[in-house]
């Protein structure tokens, strides 16, 4: 019997890369569920299917907002599923600061509605919840957070993702739901929303506009991240689902909760000024930038995030390429496909 996967947020940035990877590397049937708002864009799925016309019959698309429960009528349309990959989420820190309840509804209530649906699936093999590095809060230079370290949320977005994550843990412990929680950080790649750092830099450099680089209070240290390409994230997900018995994975502290959790991390840490300079070098254009105090300008944001990827390395998985290897191709693709930058023409 063919595996059937339900992917929420499938028209989003990471979601459509995951759909692409599953189309190219499995024979699974894929049900895409999305509400098509700020993050969800059907053009992402349309473009990947243009290159894979024979795969169209493997995909079905359902419009639904998870703030509403999955009722019996919608459940009959989805049908029984084996894998649930939950990527649908509100994910912008600034918007969460302005309207925290919106993020509670999307990321906590929406997750619980999906968990309730999952409980009714007799053949469910795994429910995968996509969390974020931000649940752990800021990391000092010497710190990289492991999968089951404590939370220290600094904004409503990260708190809402932690709330959804804890509901997944509760459903795992209470109902025996086969959970798997993933922490990712600073995922980048083709068709990313232009509000995100890398496409934002590409756009501003092309238009010769100033880029604001968040730094410490003395403006001597830019913020830094471990960037990972969305294709590597998708590869890690399929690796965990098909190559690893995640329920048997041992963690250093056997007293921690049993729910399987995994960090998907890029190879190298890079500060945001170096990233902006690297993008400018690929474009062969000057970089206009200004360092600003990140916390004064953006309360609730953190200067550095860091995850420890050693568990995935021990399990035999690492990203295929570093950010420096991925970046030239992503930049050049984005310039050629300028509509994804919100531009109506190619900038020469």
HEC letters along 48-59: HHHCCHHHHHHE
Angle (deg, nearest 10), helices 323-336 and 197-206: 50
Residue 253 has pLDDT above 90, yes or no: no
Q: Supply the pLDDT for residue 272.
A: 95
Residue 279 has pLDDT above 90, yes or no: yes
What pTM does this model have? 0.94
DSSP 109: I
| CA triple 2-238-7, angle to 5 deg | 65
Q: Supply the pLDDT for residue 131.
A: 97
Cβ neighbors of 92 (< 8 A, separation 6 or more) are: 38, 157, 195
User: How sure is the predictor about 299, in pLDDT bands with cuts at 50, 70 and 90?
Assistant: low
Q: Which residue has the tokens 């420096």?
A: 324
Taking the alpha carbons of 204, 209, 214, 215 in that order, is the dihedral positive or negative? Answer: positive
Q: Supply the pLDDT for residue 294.
A: 66
Token reading at 334: 């984005």
Going across the sheet that includes 59-63, the strands are 59-63, 29-34, 4-8, 83-86, 126-132, 179-184, 261-264
CB atoms within 10 A of CB 284: 7
Report H helices in the chain: 13-25, 42-50, 72-78, 93-98, 100-104, 110-119, 156-175, 197-206, 230-243, 272-283, 294-297, 310-314, 323-336
Residue 119 has pLDDT above 90, yes or no: yes
Q: Supply the pLDDT for residue 298.
A: 56
160-188, pLDDT tens digit by residue?
999 999 999 999 999 999 999 999 999 99
Q: Which residue has the tokens 């970089």?
A: 287
Q: Supply the pLDDT for residue 92.
A: 81
CA 156 to chain centre: 17
Beta-bridge partners for 271:
224
Residue 65 has pLDDT above 70, yes or no: yes
Residue 255 has pLDDT above 60, yes or no: no
What are the two backbone dihedrals, phi and then psi, of residue 77, each rounded to the nearest 5 degrees?
A: -70, -40
Please state the rounded mean pLDDT for residues 31-49. 89
184-242, pLDDT tens digit by residue?
999 999 999 998 999 999 999 999 999 999 898 888 889 899 999 999 999 999 999 99
Q: Supply the pLDDT for residue 85.
A: 98
Euclidean distance between CA atoms 46 and 98, whole angstroms: 33
User: How sure is the predictor about 254, in pLDDT bands with cuts at 50, 70 and 90?
Assistant: low
Q: Give the architecture-level CATH label for domain 194-225+269-305+322-341.
A: Alpha-Beta Complex (3.90)
Q: Supply the pLDDT for residue 142.
A: 83
Residue 254: strand, helix, or coil? coil
What is the domain partition of the chain in residue ranges?
4-187+226-264, 194-225+269-305+322-341
Q: What is the mean pLDDT of the chain?
A: 93
Please state the rounded mean pLDDT for residues 48-74. 95
Q: Supply the pLDDT for residue 243.
A: 97
Catalytic residue among 63, 129, 151, 157: 157
Residue 338 annotated in active site: no
Identify the CATH class of 4-187+226-264: alpha beta
């Amino acid at each position: 019997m063919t595996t059937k996967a339900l992917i929420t947020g499938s028209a989003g940035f990471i979601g459509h890369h995951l759909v692409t990877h599953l189309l190219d590397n499995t024979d699974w049937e894929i049900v895409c569920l999305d509400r098509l708002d700020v993050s969800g864009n059907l053009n992402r799925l349309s473009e990947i299917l243009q290159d894979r016309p024979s795969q169209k019959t493997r995909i079905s698309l359902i419009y639904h907002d998870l703030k509403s429960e999955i009722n019996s009528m919608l459940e009959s349309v989805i049908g029984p599923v084996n894998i649930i990959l939950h990527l649908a989420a509100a994910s912008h820190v600034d918007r969460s600061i302005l309207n925290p309840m919106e993020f509670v509804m999307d990321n906590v209530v929406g997750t619980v509605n999906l968990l309730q649906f999952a409980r009714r699936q007799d053949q469910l093999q795994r429910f995968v919840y996509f969390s974020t590095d931000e649940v752990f809060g800021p990391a000092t230079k010497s710190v990289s957070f492991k999968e089951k370290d404590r939370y220290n949320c600094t904004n409503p977005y990260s708190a809402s993702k932690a709330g959804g994550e804890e509901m997944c843990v509760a459903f795992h412990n209470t109902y025996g739901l086969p959970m798997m929680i993933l922490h990712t950080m600073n995922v980048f790649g083709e068709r990313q929303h232009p509000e995100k750092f890398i496409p934002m830099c590409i756009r501003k450099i092309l238009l010769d506009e100033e880029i604001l680089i968040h730094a410490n209070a003395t403006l001597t240290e830019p913020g830094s991240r471990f960037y990972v390409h969305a294709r590597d994230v998708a590869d890690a997900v399929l690796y965990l689902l098909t190559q690893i018995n995640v329920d048997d994975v041992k963690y250093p502290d056997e007293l921690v909760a049993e729910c399987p959790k995994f960090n998907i991390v890029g190879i190298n840490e890079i500060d945001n000024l170096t990233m902006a300079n690297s993008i400018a070098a690929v474009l062969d254009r000057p970089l206009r930038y200004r360092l600003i105090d990140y916390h004064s300008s953006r309360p609730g944001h953190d200067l550095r995030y860091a995850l420890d990827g050693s568990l995935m390395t021990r399990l035999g998985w690492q990203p295929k390429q570093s950010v420096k290897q991925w970046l030239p191709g992503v930049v050049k693709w984005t310039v050629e496909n300028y509509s994804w930058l919100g531009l109506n023409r190619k900038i020469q």
